[in-house]
Amino acid sequence: MNIIESSREKERISLHSHISGLGLDADGYVTDFLFEENIKKRDMYSEPTNKIENNDIKNGTILDPDKVDNICNSYKLENNGNYENNKICYNNISDDEDEVVKNFYKCKGMVGQKKAREAAGIFINLIKEKNICKCLLLAGPSGSGKTAIAIAISKEISDESIPFCIFNASQVYSCEVKKTEILTQYIRKSIGVKIKEIKEVFEGEVVQIEPFFDNTYDEQKISYVHITLKTLKEQKKIKIHSSIYDNLLKEKIQEKDIIYIESHSGNVKRVGKCSLYQDMFDIETDTFVDLPKGNVHKKKNIIQNITLYDLDVSNVQPKDNILDFLQNNKSKKTEITDKLRNEINKIVYKYVDQGIAQIIPGVLFIDEVHMLDIECFTYLNRTLESNLAPVVILATNRGICNIKGTNIISAHGIPVDLLDRIIIVKTMLYNKEEILQVLKLRCKFERIKIDSEALDYLSDIGKIKKK
């Protein structure tokens, strides 16, 4: 039997796609309180030298960062001097916007779970300070926002697009692949590699695409294609092979698009549409970029974001270059040998020393972790000691129970030696007001019109179901 793949997690991720962070202020407190209550709460723990006047607290205003620094002498999240994420007040919200939109900007899409979010903020601070802790356990009943907090943590850890991998512990089941192999695959899916290369490319705006056909056996077959690219400096017509024309069709390249073609591999990348044509439509969903400068044929810095698992899969059948994984990244359910992984790790470390690559540890979210057995916990405990280990977030709705496959009783069904390594955060059930706020937020993003009576009725149903 192959590894069981479930679409449930993908659906949950899409439902939480509006979340952009934990919604904490510069002091690590949740910002969906009334703002005046936040000020009173800080005054209980510190004595600021310059207190904020009442006329400074207004909707639609951002407080002076110097005043923000004087407020907190206790715990503070460091953001390297960038106050974009440290703003206490709302993000320039006008008075005519409704309460749902205001709350969304304040709390970054999060609702409720104030203590859990503040605890997650402390966990993020430990990660940024490169302390030992790399594992977090979210313990709470079903539907209490554990997945939402995990996604928010992944957004707060880094500004870059770090890998975020989610799977259910019940998926660790196969008759062909070892359980530890499945865990290894998900762990390596959560470790990103940012590769910077200098490649020779042909870049510019597509002016014309002209295919030429050959009559072979009374059938028309494309032999070659002329494509005209334009930059601010020049316009050049190049001759490409028919196989590269297939890549143009796959990328849905049209005239007025900005593209580049790698001269070595023939890969085609669409960057966007030329900004000169931005005013052609009143509403446009495409990305507009400026017309490239310089020559059409140039050397360009190419940045690729991949994972270690992508390199593993692409090199099961090795090629000339380890970076040519894009040509053979079909998913396989067979085991990948440790020898191959060690070779890939050596090459990645070599690229890191040369400044070509950068390792970006991501986030691995394991839901229903109590479904793992003692062997999986032992392997996971050892993996957390590695320098390449991602941030592991566990979630469970169990209290005191047996560890799967044993008669050992432990908290949350997790062995004691692993519990000693992790931070445990408890999540609580939503009350009626928070359920109502979630419903309003989802209706806003789904563009559903609903009256207040229906919302109140649905919130009552949600409160009963939670019980």
The per-residue pLDDT of the chain, averaged, comes to 73
Give the end of a domain, one of 242, 270, 302.
302
Q: What is the CB neighbour count within 10 angstroms for residue 64?
A: 13
Confirm if 394 and 369 have CB atoms less than 8 A apart.
Answer: yes
Whether 102 maps to a domain, the answer reads yes
Give the end of a domain, one of 83, 107, 131.
107
Q: Higher confidence at residue 294 or residue 16?
A: 294
Residue tagged 């590695």 (tokens): 386
pLDDT at 104: 55
Q: Which domain holds residue 449?
A: 430-467
Confidence of residue 31 (pLDDT cuts 50, 70, 90): low
Overall residue count recorded for the chain in this entry: 467
Q: What is the CB neighbour count within 10 angstroms for residue 305?
A: 15
pLDDT at 78: 34
Classified as helix, coil or strand, 17 is: coil
Whether 326 maps to a domain, the answer reads no
Whether 367 maps to a domain, the answer reads no
What's the rounded Cα separation, in Å, for the pair 417 and 343? 31
Kind plus residue range of the DSSP H or E element containing 453: helix 452-466
Least Cα distance to 197 among 269, 296, 267, 300 occurs for 300
Q: Higher confidence at residue 323 or residue 122?
A: 122
pLDDT tens digits, 356-405: 888 888 888 898 888 988 988 999 988 888 877 888 889 898 888 888 88
What's the rounded Cα separation, in Å, for the pair 159 and 467? 38
Classified as helix, coil or strand, 425 is: strand
What's the rounded Cα separation, in Å, for the pair 19 and 104? 9
Whether 168 maps to a domain, the answer reads no
Q: What is the DSSP string of 243-298?
A: HHHHHHHHTT--TTEEEEEETTT--EEEEEEEGGGGGG-SS--SPEEPPPPS-SEE
Whether 339 maps to a domain, the answer reads no
Q: Domains in the chain: how many in total? A: 3
Residue tagged 């049209």 (tokens): 254
Whether 311 maps to a domain, the answer reads no
Confirm if 35 and 89 have CB atoms less than 8 A apart.
Answer: yes
Overall average pLDDT of the 428-435 stretch:
82
Confidence of residue 91 (pLDDT cuts 50, 70, 90): very low
Give the end of a domain, one of 284, 302, 320.
302
Q: Is the pLDDT of residue 4 over 50?
A: no
- The b-or-e profile of 84-95 (16+ CB within 10 A means b, else e) is eebbbbbeebee
Least Cα distance to 441 among 148, 174, 213, 215 occurs for 148
Confirm if 27 and 87 have CB atoms less than 8 A apart.
Answer: no
Distances (CA, A) of 203 to 43, 59, 396: 57, 47, 50
Q: Which two tokens stand for residue 77?
A: 């999240």
What's the rounded Cα separation, in Å, for the pair 140 and 49? 40
Kind plus residue range of the DSSP H or E element containing 181: helix 179-189
What's the rounded Cα separation, in Å, for the pair 41 and 37? 6
Q: Which two tokens stand for residue 123?
A: 């966990």
Task: Kindly state the DSSP code that residue 137 receives in the 8-state scheme.
Answer: E
pLDDT at 7: 43
CB-based contacts of 396, cutoff 8 Å, min separation 6: 137, 138, 139, 368, 369, 370, 412, 413, 414
Whether 193 maps to a domain, the answer reads no
Overall average pLDDT of the 296-318 stretch:
83
Confidence of residue 421 (pLDDT cuts 50, 70, 90): confident
pLDDT at 216: 59
Q: Which two tokens stand for residue 15?
A: 């439902």
Task: Kindly state the DSSP code that residue 133 receives in the 8-state scheme.
Answer: -
Whether 212 maps to a domain, the answer reads yes
Between helix 99-107 and helix 432-446 the angle, nearest 10°, is 100
What's the rounded Cα separation, in Å, for the pair 142 and 417? 26
Overall average pLDDT of the 182-207 stretch:
89
Q: Which two tokens stand for residue 202?
A: 């042909």
Classified as helix, coil or strand, 321 is: coil
